[in-house]
Amino acid sequence: MTVQKKQQLLFSGLVFIHTMVCILAGAINWFNQFMIVPIAGAFTISIVYTKLTKKWYWVASAVIPFYLVFVPFSIQYGSSYPIWIVGLLCCTLTILLLRMRYRSVSVVGIVVAIAILGRFFFMPSYFAFLDTEKNPEKYQLENVNIKDSADKNISFAELRGKIILVDIWNSGCGICIEKFPELQKLYEKYKADSNIKVLALDIPIDRPGDRELVQKQAAPYSFPKLFFANKNEADKLYINGVPLILIFDRNMKCRYAGGLNTGMNIFIGNAERIIENLKQEP
């Protein structure tokens, strides 16, 4: 086999491996795909540039097939723009730095640092932004019939003057239950503060044994567990989906509606920051 054919075979193999690694990374989750795509691109470009050719158009063509597949998909479903935008930017940066005679190890290291920072800081805030509703004021609980686990009526109007975080969920929502440990930590942090209430509010599902299942799913946790009296009461809020976190200020005005975000690396819709900011309001 000639040297040229070996190079062509290596180039084709790199293109295939890069494309498959970047696509299959989505099976893990979008957070990790965001990290893997630019890193895989940097490695592929670096190998092609240092081992095969320094012609930028051949170097770029090694990573283009993935984007030809992924970009149209992303545009159609409108949910993963950062993955390919940052990926293309990092690929461009890699080519530019290599052409400026930076060492390939240094270039890949820079891209890896960018990808890791984006994975743990940018992406969580990006998805928190997507989950945040623009008009939280539409949610009002004062006139909704709600009961506690003893089937006693609960009036949210009596909680006026307090900051309230309500986690709305149902027994068929796996993500809701996965978020319970996070909700429990938030409850533990504020349970000693009588001016802050953290609680869960279940939407009944019309199936046998739903109440028993709800009690079993929430049993390991000590945060207060409330229930809509029936599904019609929940329908008054026009909830599009669960889990849904609502945070009310002291005047019972909903100031946040979206997902439960509590990590220090999340800067948009962070429940702890929202509560702390509301505490500072008169």
| CB of 249 closer than 8 Å to CB of 162 | no
CA-based torsion, 217, 223, 228, 229: positive or negative: positive
For the segment 78-102, the average pLDDT, to the nearest whole number, is 94
For the segment 50-66, the average pLDDT, to the nearest whole number, is 94
Q: Give the pLDDT score at 180.
A: 97
Structure tokens at 185: 């930590």
57 pLDDT more than 70: yes
Q: Give the pLDDT score at 207.
A: 84
pLDDT tens-digit readout, 96-133? 999 999 999 999 999 999 999 999 999 999 999 999 99
Reply yes or no on domain 136-280 having CATH 3.40.30.10: yes
pLDDT band, residue 3 (cuts 50/70/90): low
For the segment 140-150, the average pLDDT, to the nearest whole number, is 90
The structure tokens 């009461």 sit at 233
For the chain, the structural domain boundaries read 3-131, 136-280
Q: Give the pLDDT score at 1.
A: 56
Query: Please, which residues have CB within 8 angstroms of residue 204's CB and are 6 or more apart in sequence?
Result: 170, 210, 211, 227, 228, 230, 231, 234
Chain-wide mean pLDDT for the chain? 94
79 pLDDT more than 80: no
pLDDT tens-digit readout, 213-262? 999 999 999 999 999 999 899 999 999 899 999 999 999 999 999 999 99
Q: Give the pLDDT score at 198.
A: 98
Q: Give the pLDDT score at 150.
A: 86
Q: What percent of the chain has pLDDT over 90?
A: 83
Helix or strand run (H / E) with residue 20: helix 3-24
pLDDT tens-digit readout, 22-48? 999 999 999 999 999 999 999 999 999
Q: What are phi and psi of 280, to 5 degrees?
A: -80, -15
